[in-house]
Amino acid sequence: MRDVFAVVYVLLIVLLGLFGVISKRSTKSIGLAVSYLLFTFIVPITGNLILVLSENELLSTIGSYTYFIGMDLMAFSLFDFTLAYCNISWKKHKNIYIIYALLTIDIIQYFFNPFFGHAFGMEAITVDNAPYYRLVPYAGQEFHRIAVYFTFATSLGVFIYKTIRVPRIYAEKYYVILFTMVLAGIWQSYYIFTRTPVDRSMMGLAVCGILIFYFSLYFRPFRLLDRMLANIASKMSEAIYFFDASKRCIWANSIGCTLLDIDPDNLENVKQRLSAMFDDLGDEQANWTSRQQISSGKDTRYFSLEKHLVTDAKNKKIGYFLSIQDNTKDVLRHQREIYNATHDNLTGLFTKEYLFNLIKEKVTKNSATNYSIAYFDIRNFKMVNDIFGNDMGDKVLIRVAEWIKENATDEWVYGRLAGDSFGVCFPTGSIKLGPIERRLSRFIISNDSFDQNILMHVGIYRVTDPSIDVSIMFDRAHLAQTTIKNEYNKHIAVYNEQMRDQVLWDQKISADLEKALEERQIVPYLQPIVNNKGSIIGAEALVRWIHPEEGFLAPFKFIPVFEKNGMIVEVDKYIWRCACETLASWTDKRADMFISVNISPKDFYFIDVYAEIKDLVEEFKIEPSRLRIEITETVMMTDAEKRMAILKKFRESGFIVEMDDFGSGYSSLNQLKDMPIDVLKIDMKFLSKAEDNKRAETILRNILRLSSDLELCSLTEGVETEDQYKMLNEMGCNLFQGYYFAKPISVADFEKLTA
């Protein structure tokens, strides 16, 4: 009988060793704790094996020591396993060390037993007709029991605690181990307390170890998984339906029931309802996805459907499930986002970026059609906005957008480019410019209390090459638009190549200006001014640019460009300085001569003209009356009062102020009487345009009379013939300038002429 036990123990030792090695190699974190546990199980079993086999006292005693120390080690590793399995940290629970201390003391006391005999002794009995040594426990043995039971009970306690405290679906993981341990504990105690000579408890221990090995490393809590999956499925935001192999619905989550308006306990109608709701439910044999929309009346709902086959381990179909998601909110949000990104929110027209894309697509796709690009700009928008407020501004933009919409045909694409500009792309023939021109000449937007005329200019570019960038097409249309200057009777300009050349020219000479001034390529020419006796009494300074590449440039080639971009200020300041230099150098015969300089309206805008010129005459110490100031009527068009004050200051300081090109622009005879000027400069050019010479003569005569009535000095420029000179003289004109006397000439030539 003892032999049989021995064989069983050996088998158990081998088995535990094997499982111990397997656990140690496991990739699971609990593996190491399990392997130590299994290895320590081997020690007390080995002790028992020795006990069972030995027939003398010494061997039996060695067996007993092995057994007891093994039990301590086992308690050690059981507790260690418990902590690892239940995720309890050493650091948080310092009192855990009591357990380790108890077990260590126990091991030490066994080492003293051979000397003091306090723990146990051996008594000889007979088992199976052979001598057998049974243990006789003393006080020390009690301590051992306390230490081991205490450790065991603490481990059980931890498992019980876990079983109770974790959510119910996790409890399974703990109570299988708990159950195993309780069983082993009872089995073990039975043999200890009945003092059955041959200890069979070792078998229970080993089985406990093997079960722990299995549960910790291989057991998958299916019930936990099941419940988790069911829980997840029922809480999903999608409607979910499970169908068995015979295509009967066996389960639907609550959203699924609500979607089809069915009772969760009666799933008979699921299939029927689904078919009624959706066009297509896919092939039952395959995985499938689809997006479908369901419209009822005005609103549409959007769904995405997904079907998955469910198969068993052998890939045999056991059913399928269908999930349906209501994407309506997302789809609508997405549609709204797309709309917002592509539409201007004030006017509802396309945004610039989107419009450009559409145009690109259109012109490249239909390359047989000729397209044009129109750039609409509200010229007085800033004024409307500033004076009448943003609400009126918004109203204007909306009205213009509506007007474009009303006129648009299906072939047009149009949108808002920026604050007050709109863009349209249309087949070239589809717009008649005449009617649009007429419409734009009177584009009135009425408010509650007043009517506002909207000044809109349109630049048109005919697309000759569909491959160029849409932004460049619009640049060209815009360029055409900018060539319409403050005109109220012309609203449309069509782009041509000269416009581009002009831009290039503008850029070139603007870039050249700084160097030109430094190198004195820019010089004043002087055109003599004579009195009624024909003697030269002064000159007008007229700018010339002797350009190293472009040659001799007359002012019309560059003055308008610089007036547009403000660089005229640099040119004028330079000419004024040159004029002062020249005046300062004149002595004797020329000591009383004057030079008139031109002042552009832009000069008043950018600099303090008065301070600038006053400083110059002081610097060169010249009489202010020798530097005459020529201004045009346009200077008075903005800030009239302020400008008037400046002219007054000039006159008070002794300068002579001349009104240039009188009669060419917005002459207001009425304003003339209050103007702080000394000289009225009349240009023959404007008069000779009049068809009837007699009429021109009459006008001239009257202007000259008016001039003398207002006690102004009169100067006629553009005098080309002797007849003209005689006639003007007779009419009482005071001063004369023109090719008849001399063309504008260099300072050196002028000085020769007047030597």
Q: Which residues of the shown chain bind ligand C2E in the complex (CB under 6 A)? A: 527, 542-543, 554-556, 559, 568, 572, 575, 598, 600, 660-661, 685, 717-720, 737-739, 744
Nearest approach in angstroms of CB 582 to ligand C2E is 13
**Least CB distance from residue 365 to ligand C2E, whole Å?**
50
The option from ligand C2E, Ca ion, none interacting with 528 (CB < 5 to 8 A, set by class) reads none
Q: How far apart are CA 733 and CA 389, in angstroms?
A: 51
Q: Which does 542 bind (CB under 5 to 8 A by kind): ligand C2E, Ca ion, none?
A: ligand C2E
Question: What is the distance between the alpha carbons of residues 320 and 247, in angstroms, rounded to a whole number?
Answer: 8
x/- mask, Ca ion, residues 193-222, rule CB under 5 A, reads: ------------------------------
Q: What is the DSSP string of 722-734?
A: HHHHHHHHHHT--
Query: Cα separation of 575 and 569, whole Å?
Result: 10
CB of 578 to ligand C2E, least distance (A): 9
325 binds, among ligand C2E, Ca ion, none (CB under 5 to 8 A by kind): none
Looking at the Cβ atoms of 488 and 739, the one nearer to ligand C2E is: 739
Burial of residue 193 (number of CB atoms within 10 Å: 0-12, 13-18, 19+):
exposed
Alpha helix (H) ranges present in 519-567?
559-565
Residue 568 binds: one of ligand C2E, Ca ion, none (C-beta under 5 to 8 A by kind): ligand C2E
What does residue 312 show for φ and ψ, rounded to 5 degrees? -90, -175
Residue whose token pair is 């490249």: 364
Residue 190 interaction partner, one of Ca ion, ligand C2E, none, beta carbon < 5-8 Å per kind: none
Whole-angstrom Cα distance, residue 500 to residue 523? 28
Q: Which of 72, 377, 660, 678 binds Ca ion (CB under 5 A)?
A: 660
Where in 591-650 is the site for Ca ion (CB under 5 A)?
598, 630
What's the per-residue H, E or C state across 442-502?
Answer: CCEEECCCCEEECCEEEEEEECCCCCCCHHHHHHHHHHHHHCCCCCCCCCEEECCHHHHHH
CB-based burial label for 373 (10 Å; 0-12, 13-18, 19+): buried
Name the binder of 427 from ligand C2E, Ca ion, none, CB < 5-8 A by kind.
Answer: none
Task: Round to whole Å and give the CA distance between 40 and 67.
Answer: 11
Q: How far is the CB of 738 from Ca ion (least distance, A)?
A: 11
User: To the nearest whole angstrom, how small is the minimum distance from the Cβ of residue 573 to Ca ion?
Assistant: 17
- Shortest Å distance, C-beta 748 to ligand C2E: 17
Query: Whose Cβ is closer to ligand C2E: residue 193's or residue 556's?
Result: 556
The CA distances from residue 709 to 163, 187, 666, 680, in Å, are 119, 140, 21, 12
* Residue 661 binds Ca ion, judged by CB under 5 A: yes
624 contact partners, CB below 8 Å, separation of at least 6: 614, 617, 653, 654, 655
With respect to ligand C2E, which residue has the nearer C-beta, 369 or 531? Answer: 531
CB of 354 to ligand C2E, least distance (A): 45
Q: Which is nearer to Ca ion, 44 or 663 (CB)?
A: 663
CB 463, min distance to ligand C2E, A: 37
Amino acid letter, 199: D
What amino acid is encoded at 479 in this protein? L
CB-CB contact of 412 with 359 (8 Å): no
Cβ-contact 654, 624 below 8 angstroms: yes
For ligand C2E, the closer CB: 376 or 574: 574
One-letter amino acid of 173:
K
Closer residue to Ca ion in complex, CB, 381/662: 662
Q: Which does 420 bind (CB under 5 to 8 A by kind): Ca ion, ligand C2E, none?
A: none
Residue 445 or residue 719: which is nearer to ligand C2E going by CB?
719
Exposure letters 411-448 (e unless 16+ CB within 10 A, then b): ebbbbbbeebbbbbbbeeeebeeeebeeebeebebeee
What the block records as the tokens of 121 is 């002794």
Task: Please say which residue, 349 or 595, places its beta carbon nearer to ligand C2E.
Answer: 595
Least CB distance from residue 542 to ligand C2E, whole Å?
4
Task: Specify the residue, 110 or 574, whose C-beta has the smaller distance to ligand C2E.
Answer: 574
Minimal CA–CA distance to 327: which of 289, 300, 362? 300
Closest separation between CB of residue 701 and ligand C2E, Å? 20
Count, residues near Ca ion per rule CB under 5 A: 4
Which region, judged by CB under 5 A, interacts with Ca ion, from 297-305, 360-368, 460-468, 653-661? 653-661
Looking at the Cβ atoms of 420 and 630, the one nearer to Ca ion is 630
Task: Please choose which of Ca ion, ligand C2E, none residue 527 contacts, taking the beta carbon within 5 to 8 angstroms, the exact cut-off set by kind.
Answer: ligand C2E
**Closest separation in Å from C-beta 608 to Ca ion:** 21
Which secondary structure element, helix H or strand E, spans residue 544, and what is its range?
strand 536-547
Residue 420 or 717: the one with the smaller Cβ distance to ligand C2E is: 717
Binding site for Ca ion (CB under 5 A): 598, 630, 660-661
